[in-house]
Structure 1
């Protein structure tokens, strides 16, 4: 959380209540859930209410548009494992001739980011 006014307000066996304000940055919570196929996560804010099943999250992330520019809520399972490596492939088919900078950024499970300084590729 970004300020002392934000954070976890209440935790019970079936509920986590938190206060969070975001102004363009990503905010989130990570929590453990024990449940069956019927278990649901109910997410409620002043502008959005959504229910998502654990079974649906096992298939993949659920992204919900929250209105506004780039405002969204993403429900997803945390990846299993340590994850000290990341691999990717990227091909820029439209790069004109010349030297171009590229950056790589990763977002970790806890929301922290890592990135490389620009590296340069020359298209001949």
Structure 2
């Protein structure tokens, strides 16, 4: 559930007030809004109230205003992290045919051991993740705007170095530098294409997430406020925006 509360009265419209109707749509006074609502708020601030009950552990929740990422919220902290490393790749070459990005690759750890590994969003049955030794993985994967990757549990949570080789990204990262925030390797072209590495708790129990956030509203354009939920199993969900405008 996603709702907004306002500290000044606004006007809620059931039709877009910016469109040229024969008769302008009428609004009603409000101090709150839900997904899909259009609110004219000439002044005052907004608070976003979010309550999530997910089908799988929550990896992160992103808050957006239009295309701008406002904040990323995780239900766990740096102190909760363990020996599980997530490697995530995502993107497309361009819109339309032949948009696929090939992510076939290998991972090696130096001065450490891989205890086990699990893939997510490997949709093609012939494209799999394999552990070839105690220190190496290989896989075949592609994306067409979606994302995939794997989790890797290592014997020494903070020791050694992880090396990744794919056609698009080649990188090496000391495990002691992999934490809560994404280690990003951006190879975007016409569309986003990137690989990121970050750390997760060994076991993530968080399927329920609730929070409140103050939202800074833009005066120069409409504010389309929404969230994107990412679950550990590779599922993503977006809410419909709450539209808040300073002028109409």
TM-score (norm 2): 0.42
Q: Considering only aligned residues, what root-mean-square deviation do their CA atoms show, in Å?
A: 2.8
Distance 1:3 1:86, change over 3 A: farther
Q: 1:96 offset after TM fit, Å?
A: 6.6
Deviations 1:17-67 (A, max 9, x none): 111011211111112112264411110012321011110003632001124
Structure 1 stretch displaced more, 50-59 or 86-95: 86-95
One of 80, 90, 94 as aligned partner of 2:218? 94
Distance 1:27 1:88, change over 3 A: farther
Q: Contact 1:40–1:53 (CA<8 Å) still a contact in 2? A: yes
2:178 is matched with 57
Bigger radius of gyration among the two = 2
1:1-124 pair list within 5 angstroms: 1-35=122-156, 37-58=158-179, 60-68=181-189, 69-79=191-201, 81-83=204-206, 84-87=208-211, 89-95=213-219, 102-119=225-242, 121=244
Q: Contact 1:103–1:117 (CA<8 Å) still a contact in 2? A: yes
Q: 1:88 offset after TM fit, Å?
A: 5.3
Aligned length: 123
Q: Contact 2:180–2:198 (CA<8 Å) still a contact in 1? A: no
Structure 1 CA distance for aligned equivalents of residues 186 and 245 of structure 2 = 38
Q: Contact 1:78–1:109 (CA<8 Å) still a contact in 2? A: no
Distance 1:21 1:88, change over 3 A: farther
Unaligned runs of 5+ in 1: none
